[in-house]
Each structure stands twice: as C-alpha cells, then as structure tokens.
Amino acid sequence: MKNIKKRSWAEPYKMKMVELLKMTTKPQRIKAIKDAGYNTFLLPSEDVYIDLLTDSGTNSMSDRQWGVFMTGDEAYAGSKSYYILEEAIKKYYGYKYVVPTHQGRAAENILSQILIKKGDIVPGNMYFTTTRLHQELAGGTFVDVIIDEAHDPLNEHPFKGNIDIGKLDKLVKKHGAKKIPYVCLATNVNMAGGQPVSMANLKELRAYTKKHGIRIIHDMTRVAENAYFIQQREKGYDKKSIREIVKEICSYTDGATMSAKKDALVNIGGFMAINDWDVFEEARNLVVVYEGLHTYGGLAGRDMEAIAVGIAESLDDNHQRARVGQVEYLGQKMIEYNIPIVKPIGGHGIFVDAKAFLPHLTQDQFPAQTLAAELYIDSGVRTMERGIVSAGRKPNGENYYPKLELVRFTIPRRVYTQAHMDVIAESAAAVYDKRKSIKGLKMVYEPKYLRFFQARFQKL
C-alpha cells in the first residue's frame, strides 16, 4: 500500500434504484444518426447508451429530494415551498431577494430586460449561448473579456475562467461605465471547458467595478464546482469548506442567474437573485408575464423544495470531490489514450479538441459536429458540439468563428459508474484510431436562433 499516494474519489452514496438502458447495434446507430441529421440533439434518447449530451437536468436526485416531492406545497400563491427555497438561497448564497424561474434562461431573459438598454455593452468571461442571446435580444452587445489563456486548449492556467481586468478597463474607457449595466461573471466557465475563476480575480473585479459603479451579475450555474477548484488550487483556501467558499464568491457579486438543473442537482428549475430591491420589484412584475406568480415562477412547489435540498447537497465537500473526481478519472484515461483534450481537466466534463482530433477538416466542415456523430456510431455515447455550430451568427448575420472547436463529454451528476467512464474513453480511442478516414459535414438546415439545437447536416 506504500505506493498509493492519492486516495480514490468514491461516491458518498449508494444506488437504490436503476434505470434500464436499451443496447443498440452499429447498423441501428448509423441509421439513427442519419435520421437525426447528424445532430446528437435530434437523437431519440432511447437510442442512446451513455448520455453525455449535457449535465443539465440529467442529475440523479437523492432520496431526500424525492422525499420533498411528496411534501411540496402546490398552492398557487404563497407556497410554503417557495419560502423554503428563498431561505436556502439566503442561507447558502447570501443573496437577498429571489425570483424562481422554470430554468436558467428564463432568469436571463428577465434580468436582461430589466438591466440592459439598447446600445449597452455587456462584458463577460466567455459567452454562453442563451445568456448572450438574451443580452442581444435586450439590445446589448456581449464582449468577451476572459483571459487569453482560456481560448488555448493546451494552456494549463489553473484559473482559465478569470476576467482580464485590462480588457475590461479598455471597454470602460472606450464606452464609459454608464453604457455597461453589469459584468456577466460565470463561475466554472462552461464554454471554456468547465474552467474556474479564482477568488483573487473576483476580489480584483469587485474592487474595479465598485470604483466605476458597475454591477456584477453572477451566472452561478456551476458555482460549487468552481468552489471545489478554489479549495484545491488557491492559496489560503485548502482548509475552507465548499460551503464557505461559495458564500464568499457570491458576496462579491450583486445578483445572480441560476440554472438549478446543474449544480443544484435537480431535473428542472432556476432562479434570479438580486440584492437590489428596485430590480427585484421589476423582476417580480415581469415574472408573472413570462413564468407564473412570483412565488412559483413556472415551477411546481415540489420542484422548488427539491432545489433547496439540492443546493445543500451540492455544497458537501465529499459530493464535490466525487463529482469532479469522476470527471478527472475520465480525463486521465483520455490523456492515456493520447486524445487531445482541453487542459486542465474541467469540472463538468471532458472537452475534446476537435481541430486537433480531425486536423484534415476545416472549421466550415464542422469538425466537432462530425466527431460527436462518429462517437455515437461507435458506441452509442452521445456528446455535444461546442464549436462553430454552437457559436451561431452575429446580429449582422456573419458566422462567429470561435477559436475553440470542441466536443463536450458532459458528465451528469450521480448517474454513471466508473465502468461507464472506461467505455467512454475506449470509444473515444477507437474513433481516434480511425480519425484519418473520417469525412466532414455540410449544414442543410439552419434555424434562426440557437441553431445547434435543431440544425441538420449531411455527410460530405
């Protein structure tokens, strides 16, 4: 036993119920992906073996969360479950006022409509698809102010989610602070590969924005995973709990949008939180238009209560260690098989560099979309494109050409086993072995908004 330096990341739970999966053959999968227009979003999930499309809403709830499904209060107004959710958000995150929404993008819609005026500039640490679209629909222009390292898949900066304060300062000097309603700060930046923001960077950002009277709005979808990385990597935080670190992160921001479908371990739900009474009042006005009364915001009472329990569970150190540990395990396997992945290994999944995997394809031949389809054909593992298709078009109609052309292997929380991780890595290795024979795709149908969800392709 002397040689074992690091203990395993085993899960702090056991299984009480399982969901049976359909096993498919390769000819069945070739047909299924063709019928789906080579878009993994359009595959029937029944035909999927291991579903790594997203970590959103795909979590396993705990026995305690299922328990409150029976005790949730389904009153239209003043549901007891709303007050339980509000209490949890105040206690664990520290935000003052809460508006529940059916998921994250609904909170983004409401917040963008309230805070953004036509012609405003919204800086952020890398775009997220729905977040940027709501900023644009409200009349704003998103500007990426993440550090350059985030756009380089091989750069091993420990906090690739950090904001480049110099880039932000240039924007403020160019447009004036009045044109900048807030900085959109995402924790554990999704599109960068699940990369964290450091506490030092956040403190610096807080000091800077305070000086210029600019709000920080926190996309806290994966805040607990970010806190885990701070605990592991940042000086002075190794003795602090995830719970303490999360509260500190939130304390440097003025409000938040949350997709509870990720870190908060539920299948549906979200909220907007804010410390400013005026913004809260407006949000309460708008939520009744789009979502439902301000004490349920499109959610059932049981959903709100399951979020409250999920928030507490997500802040448990043992949970996060197993959660990120499992992702790390898969990433290490991929590295062993020489598969080009984004480094450091992120919090919610493995991001394969499709440009490096399929260097013979141009970005217009959709390398990441192609690779996701090939992986599905090989093993029934469903992944997601995060490259040129996801990036979409600018308001003037031109394509965005993102530097990162990635395939995301997103790991749902508390769902798959270590043996599943082995199968995934082996399948990626099998596709890697035959990479030179893989041909690209052309797009034959393109929806107007968020095209990656419904676009269709054909083999070249």
Q: Is 40 in the site for ligand F0G (CB under 6 A)?
A: no
Does 109 engage in binding with ligand F0G (CB under 6 A)? no
In the annotation, is 40 catalytic?
no
The active-site residue out of 38, 49, 95, 128 is 128
Binding ligand F0G by CB under 6 A: which of 120, 219, 263, 305?
219
In angstroms, what is the minimal distance from the CB of 29 to ligand F0G? 22
Which of 81, 190, 326, 379 binds ligand F0G (CB under 6 A)? It is 190
Q: Which of 186, 224, 327, 339 binds ligand F0G (CB under 6 A)?
A: 186
Under the binding rule (CB under 6 A), the answer on residue 187 touching ligand F0G is no
Which residue among the candidates 64, 76, 117, 445 is catalytic per the annotation?
Answer: 76
Q: Taking the complex as a whole, how short is the minimal distance between the CB of residue 6 and ligand F0G, in angstroms?
A: 29
* Cα torsion 107, 111, 112, 113: sign: positive
Interaction between residue 103 and ligand F0G (CB under 6 A): yes
Structure tokens at 172: 């403020």
Min dist. Cβ of residue 248 to ligand F0G (A): 20
Give the interface size with ligand F0G as a residue count (CB under 6 A): 15
For residues 56 and 162, which CB has a smaller minimum distance to ligand F0G in the complex?
A: 56
Which C-beta is closer to ligand F0G: that of 93 or that of 432?
A: 93
CB 86 within 8 A of CB 148: no
Q: Indicate if 233 belongs to the active site.
A: no
Query: Is 409 one of the annotated active-site residues of the chain?
Result: no
Q: Which of residues 49-78 bind ligand F0G (CB under 6 A)?
A: 54, 56
Binding site for ligand F0G (CB under 6 A): 54, 56, 103-105, 128, 130-131, 186, 190, 219, 221, 259, 261, 270
